Chain A
Amino acid sequence: MIQILIQGLLLSGLYALIAVGFTLIFSVGRILNLAYGAYLMLGGYMYFWISQSMGMPKLFGVVIAVAFGVALGILKYQLIVKTLRGDHVAVEISTLILAVVLQAGVVLVFGDSSKILLPIIPGVVYIAGVPVTYNILAATLASWVILGGLYLFIKNTHTGRAMQAVSMDTKGAAISGIVPDHINMITWAISGGLGALGGVFFASYTQLAPSMWVAPLIISVAVVIVGGIGSIIGTLIVAHVVGFMEVSVVSLLSPELRGVFTMLLIILVLVMRPQGLFGREEL
């Protein structure tokens, strides 16, 4: 029981970190970024390349991975989202194509086989008799710090409030003197950075593989759908629901059923309450 509690808490923290970047784009830009999983993958691979292939310090690897994610986010906004402005279906489909292209690009550079990422912080600690790696502990703590920081950023800074404004009504925000274009770009940059950071932790939790982007994308989708758009608190809560559900299913029922209940939750929530559990009353 205590094992489920601890593992659930740790996994949920990781999931929250993964999902928050996706939520951000979906809330502010109203765009389903299907290439979000690819940011995670690229972040993970970038970290792998810098810290394990080149032998540079790990922290430097993380920083470069995040910077790479930020650059990707900006590039994608400038090259694809702005070009296809307004056509949501076209943007979504081109993000899907982009994700497949990026996956193939990773295969091209790093090969098809999966790679084991050394833990960012090695070591194991026993909490109430349950072994917990420092690695996932760091991911969880980082996730809490980042989510808290993001919440404060959105509530208290000018840029953050401008993001909220754009998310509510782009035209209204533009009239109040906000440049939605800049805000969108900043959002894509933050989302890219968060995705890459989440990817580093996610990859060290599982492993690096060119097809690793699908699973975190599905998790992000689940968290955003169930939590409802435009709600960081909702993201945090639902990440815990999903995380605890997965851990309970794995240890109580069967490891193979891991994702089944997450999918059922998505379908159920979308059919019963399409705006999500914590989202706004609009669609």
Chain B
Amino acid sequence: MGLRWYHFAAWGAFILGLMALPELVSKGALRTIIFANYLAIFAISWDLLSGRTGYISFGHPFLIGIGAYTSAILTKRFGVDVEMAIPIAVVVTMLGGLVVLLPALRIKGSYFALVTLAFMELMYQLVQVIRPDLTGGTRGMSGIQTLTRGAVNGFYLSSVLMVIVAIAAWLLMRTRLGTALTAVGLNESAVEGSGLSTTKLKMVAFLASAFVAGLGGAFYVHYLGSIAPRALFDINFVFTIIVAVLIGGASTIIGPIIGAFFLTFLLEYLRPWLPGAERYFIYGGIALLLYMYQPKGIYYMLQSGWARLKGSTS
């Protein structure tokens, strides 16, 4: 895998910095960071699938929603323990990932994006109609068992989860498998020509993405304690996930994390000036400009800035 000492140093510094945060910042900022952590998990999940393999998913809440709803329904309606419900939710989400895989075997590009969008809308409508006694229908569910109390505990839980997901995804991408996945995004037929099964590779990417999405979704619902279809299966939610990845830098691990924190804090800092949905006007505008200026993202900008500082030839 080619691990070097500075990799350990960088991750160590990152983890130490995160763990020291509750001493440094206010409770309010911690709550914001919790949301940023979950957004980072969803962004990494999206990046595993779309950033690497180039199969753009516009329906990622489909997967997150399966994880969140499964765990919520199991704990609230059937009295299953959270320790059992979350793993079951993850497995169910991975089955959902296989469902999304089916169209990806035949179609690419814009068409794949559209079919995932259709999956999300389908889920949105079905959740409200099929067994509203279980899903809570249009209103969703509330009073779902929460795992933690208070901002500090929630922060530690979400941070640990995010760091584990990030390191696992990072290690996965440093294996030969990760290289092959990135190659699928660059040129799928060339990968096939090298004698690798793209179907298997895509399956790995979809399952890994679904695993992370399910895990994130299940923990998220047990943090929030409530769930509603319109908040979850929403095009604004897709927008936030995708933009977090792209603004941070696709096909990296640190990129989606940077993007998630940037977006969450941007949205939070706009709150005093623009309390309502108008925030999205500025927020989306900044996202659009940043994306138009550098589609490769903040991480790439930092890298090239660092390279220029060091004076190496660009």
Residues of A near any B CB (own CB < 8 A) = 26, 30, 32, 80, 83-84, 87-90, 92-94, 96-101, 103-105, 107-108, 112, 210, 214, 218, 221-222, 225, 254, 256-260, 263-264, 266-267, 270-271, 274, 283
CB of B278 within 8 A of CB of A107, answer yes
CB of B109 within 8 A of CB of A88, answer yes
- The 11 listed contacts between A and B (C-beta, < 8 Å) are A32-B113, A93-B291, A94-B292, A101-B280, A103-B280, A104-B278, A104-B284, A221-B114, A256-B128, A257-B129, A260-B122
CB distance from B218 to the nearest CB of A (A): 25
User: In the assembly, what is the distance between CA of A271 and CA of B114, in Å?
Assistant: 12
6 pairs of A and B residues whose beta carbons are closest in the complex: A104-B281, A101-B284, A104-B280, A263-B122, A266-B118, A32-B110
Contact partner, A270, options B103, B126, B287, B292, Cβ 8 Å = B103
Chain A residues within 8 Å of B108, by CB: 283
CB of A254 within 8 A of CB of B129, answer yes
Residues of B near any A CB (own CB < 8 A) = 54, 56, 58, 102-103, 106-111, 113-115, 117-119, 121-122, 125-126, 128-129, 235-236, 238-239, 242-243, 246, 276-281, 283-285, 287-288, 291-292, 295
Contact partner, B284, options A100, A112, A210, A221, Cβ 8 Å = A100
Chain B residues within 8 Å of A94, by CB: 288, 291-292
CB of A270 within 8 A of CB of B115, answer yes
Q: Which residue of A lies closest to B102 (CB)?
A: A271
| Additional 17 contacts, C-beta under 8 A, given A97-B288, A260-B126, A263-B122 | A30-B110, A32-B110, A90-B291, A90-B295, A94-B291, A97-B287, A98-B284, A101-B288, A104-B277, A104-B281, A218-B118, A263-B119, A267-B115, A270-B118, A271-B106, A271-B115, A274-B106
With A112-B277, A254-B129 as contacts: A225 and B111 at CB distance below 8 Å = yes
Chain A residues within 8 Å of B243, by CB: 93, 97
CB of A88 within 8 A of CB of B110, answer yes
CB of B278 within 8 A of CB of A267, answer no
With A88-B110, A266-B118, A283-B108 as contacts: A257 and B291 at CB distance below 8 Å = no
